[in-house]
Structure 1
Amino acid sequence: MSWSEITLRTPGRMWASLGRHALAWWRSIYLAAVMLVLVASPSSYGHGARTLMARQIYVQTAPVLAGFTALAALLCAVIARIVIVTAQSYGLSRYALDLVVRVMVIELIPLTAALFVAMRCTIPAGVQVVQMRASGQLAAWKARGIDPIRAALVPRAAAGVFAAITLAALSCAVALVTVYLSVYGFSLAGFGIYTRVFGQVFTPSLTLVFVLKTWFFSLTVAIMPMASALYMPLARRRQGGEELGGFARMFAVLLLIEVISLMGNYY
């Protein structure tokens, strides 16, 4: 292929790539809106739908609780020790507790819980949806008048949101206990100081940002893998490019949410 042919084909390939990315983002946004409407609709909670959703919530949440609790406790203990020792070495011991609470509970815990749920729960659930498409199960449901999004995607996405919020809340409690033990040990002498620092850190505005960030993190890791699974071309399934593109979009949204939350907290 000559240089002139490459030059002529490059703009076309760039426009085609931009078009695919724009279409993928639009499909993710559209599916998110559809699924939020279906979740808010009472018709999505019939007897069979409630049973399926309860099963998905249990499958995606219960098996990972113990492992994530242990991981969160270990992570909190290590980071708390590093921050405390570093602050003491610079003569900033009075700021150590405030810094640990801010770093662990506000910044790291929601993101860690969201990524853990994505890797262990929602991405495997998306793989299940792809397998259902490949086997023709979704098409068979649609032919029988059953909405595939309502039957297959909504329960898995709702379970992903529940798992992310549950793990974030659990890990926050674990982090608070671990940080206290790292600073004061098994003594109640520092309980008053610790609760006062906690109250000073969690102002109403910061608490609102924390809740919204956790909520949007959970929506992102629950919906983005479902969108990739539903709209991924099956002919390109083995190449892996579509899966990587879906992961990249999910991480980009998580990063954007984190940046916006940092701006809301510190600017």
Structure 2
Amino acid sequence: MSWSETTLNLPGRLWSALGAQALAWWRSIYLTAVLLVLQLSPSSYRKGARALLAHQMYVQTVPILTGFTALAALLCAVIARIVIVTAQSYGLSRYALDLVVRVMVIELIPLTAALFVAMRCTIPAGVEVVQLRMRGHLAAWKKQGVDPLRVAVLPRTAAGVFAAITLAALSCLVALITVYFSVYGFTLAGFGGYTRVFGQVFTPSLTLVFVLKTWFFSLTVAIMPMASALYTPLARHRRGGAELGGFARMFAVLLLIEIISLMGNYY
């Protein structure tokens, strides 16, 4: 194809790419709505469905708890030390603890937990769904009157949400303990002051924003890989690179949630 033909076809190619992206976003929104309805439906928690859900919760949460706890403790210790030393060098020691709690617990921990779950749990779970599509299992279940969303997608999505919330809660606890020892050492002398600072930081409005942010982070990392696995053409999966587009959309949503939470906390 000559340069002139490429130039003439450029608007059409751009329009096609925009249309594909808009369709991908719409399918992600649609899948989110369907899965939320299924999660609230009592029929999704019958005996067999409960067993599938429990299995997915176990395989997506338990194997990564130890590794993530160690990573969270190391990350918190390093960042807490950097912030404390920097604050002391500028004569701002009185603000160091407040800053560490805000940076670690409110901003970094939920995002770190969500990304960790995405890399270790939900994206591999999306690959499993793609493999089920390639083998024809989803189409076979549909012909037999079995809803593939209930059997293959809902348990993995709910398990991803559970894993992200569990890791965020666990890492918050680890961060609070690590920050305390980084500031006061192995003594209980600073416990009263530490809890007072913690209470001053976590106002009702900030706590609400923190809970909502963690919840939406968990939904994003659980649903976006599934939307890519279900709706991206199999030919693109075989060529490779389909997961990259889903990850880009997931990261864009996480960034948008983080920006909105920052506006809610500090403006």
Question: Normalised by the shorter chain, which TM-score bucket?
Answer: over 0.9
Q: Encode CA deviations 1:174-229: one digit per residue, 9 max, x unaligned.
A: 00000000000111110010000000000000000000000000000000000000
Where does residue 4 of structure 2 map in the other structure? Answer: 4
> SS at 1:91's partner residue?
coil
Q: Encode CA deviations 1:83-103: one digit per residue, 9 max, x unaligned.
A: 000000000000000000000
> SS at 1:66's partner residue?
helix
Alignment-mate amino acid for residue 199 of structure 1: G
Q: Size of the alignment, in residue pairs?
A: 267
Where does residue 154 of structure 2 map in the other structure? Answer: 154
Q: Encode CA deviations 1:157-185: one digit per residue, 9 max, x unaligned.
A: 00000000000000000000000000001
- Give the Cα separation in 2 of the matches to 1:16 and 1:40: 36
Identity of aligned residues (%): 84
Alignment-mate amino acid for residue 164 of structure 1: A
> SS at 1:106's partner residue?
helix
Where does residue 202 of structure 2 map in the other structure? Answer: 202
Where does residue 227 of structure 2 map in the other structure? Answer: 227
CA positional deviation for 1:3? 3.6
Q: Encode CA deviations 1:48-88: one digit per residue, 9 max, x unaligned.
A: 00000000000000000010000000000000000000000
Alignment-mate amino acid for residue 82 of structure 1: I
Where does residue 98 of structure 2 map in the other structure? Answer: 98
Where does residue 253 of structure 1 map in the other structure? Answer: 253
Where does residue 264 of structure 2 map in the other structure? Answer: 264
Where does residue 40 of structure 2 map in the other structure? Answer: 40
TM-score (norm 2): 0.99
> SS at 1:186's partner residue?
coil
Where does residue 170 of structure 1 map in the other structure? Answer: 170
- Give the Cα separation in 2 of the matches to 1:2 and 1:54: 57
> SS at 2:91's partner residue?
coil
Where does residue 109 of structure 1 map in the other structure? Answer: 109
CA positional deviation for 1:7? 2.2
Alignment-mate amino acid for residue 215 of structure 1: W
Alignment-mate amino acid for residue 116 of structure 2: F
TM-score (norm 1): 0.99
Q: Encode CA deviations 1:101-145: one digit per residue, 9 max, x unaligned.
A: 000000000000000000000000000000000001111100100
CA positional deviation for 1:5? 1.6
Gaps (5+ residues) in structure 1? none
